[in-house]
Structure 1
């Protein structure tokens, strides 16, 4: 029986190679993986530990199509815009180019510095674009009539927006729709889909729901 097993292993040695990877290849692979993890940590971890577990949201940059979908939903709008969890500022720069006065809230100091440097080199005045290193959960959003967010909407975020935003405010959520909120419109499809909500319509809908 043992002889048979040895013959099988020899016959299929080409299919099931028993040799180990070259030490240099293994070392290079490990270095690449370590570098990628380090880069991920630099961009996602600063300030991340300060947020309560149920409110944590990892950094996910908006795609080009997603930014275009946001701008479609903002057509005809004006005024001040707050981007919650602005990251590297992609949505902020897109909205500012359409004439909005934008504020990007971001707790990651690395991403804030990167976004500010992009604004500087593009010569965008601070009156048009501002990146604030601040937890948006602690920010007062009452002066913004446009809000964009690439987050997982939950009851806590919905309550904050309903409590603070003015009656004419428009909320745009990327990828993830707000549960139980009536949509004004949507743009795109799949992972790049965006959803728009009028705060006055949402408040009216929720009041009617509570009365039933």
Structure 2
């Protein structure tokens, strides 16, 4: 982190007059600003990270309004329970609940979970409609959910795909935001660029992967 701060300071120095660089007040203010940014990042990104293996850690990145609208388009007509993996501030959960789905947001960052619960209380949403749990979804059985939404880093999509193949039933639908599942056939898609989402029906995914059994988890090929 010290190396990163030094690089930032060097970039800042390159575009500033020398008199500012030699000013102790300016130097102190710049250092305080960088320290404040770092501490803010640790508040929202680090809580809970120690509970997750290094290869599965994903930083918090909120869904955009357009992305959420695209998710709702591919969820149109769906019923039952929805799990939002890495629910963050709860934007997607609230949108899905308004469409009649029973939603659970999984968020390992306890600060974000508390914020989302407060927003749900403020909106008067009953617990049977919306709930937020500070729980590691990697260690949670998701077989009770027939709708799953994910907005995670591309590096974990293969591992997550194996988990979903083991646990979800054939009628379940999975929606991936921004980063698709490698090798999975998409049933429908909405949007483009950073706001694009892909919908996968588990029966279609399994039928496709059965043609290449090595791509399925061991539990699916035995």
TM-score (ref. length: structure 1): 0.88
Q: Return structure 1 stretches of 4+ with deviation > 6 angstroms.
A: none
Structure 2 segments unaligned to the other structure (5+ residues): 1-14, 215-222
For the residues of structure 1 that align with 2:114 and 2:138, how far apart are their CA atoms? 20
The equivalent residue for 2:197 is 194
The equivalent residue for 1:208 is 211
- Give 1:74-89 correspondences, 5 Å limit: 74-89=75-90
The equivalent residue for 2:55 is 54
- Give 1:1-212 correspondences, 5 Å limit: 18-21=18-21, 22-152=23-153, 153-210=156-213
For the residues of structure 1 that align with 2:20 and 2:35, how far apart are their CA atoms? 21
For the residues of structure 1 that align with 2:114 and 2:48, how far apart are their CA atoms? 14
Q: Deviation of residue 18 (structure 1)?
A: 4.3
RMSD: 1.6
TM-score (ref. length: structure 2): 0.85
Of Structure 1 and Structure 2, the greater helix share is in 2
Higher gyration radius (CA): 1
For the residues of structure 1 that align with 2:207 and 2:174, how far apart are their CA atoms? 15
Equivalent pair of 2:20/2:26 in contact (CA under 8 Å)? no
Cα-to-partner distance string for 1:94-113 (whole Å, 9 max, x where unaligned): 11111110000111110110
Structure 1 segments unaligned to the other structure (5+ residues): 1-14
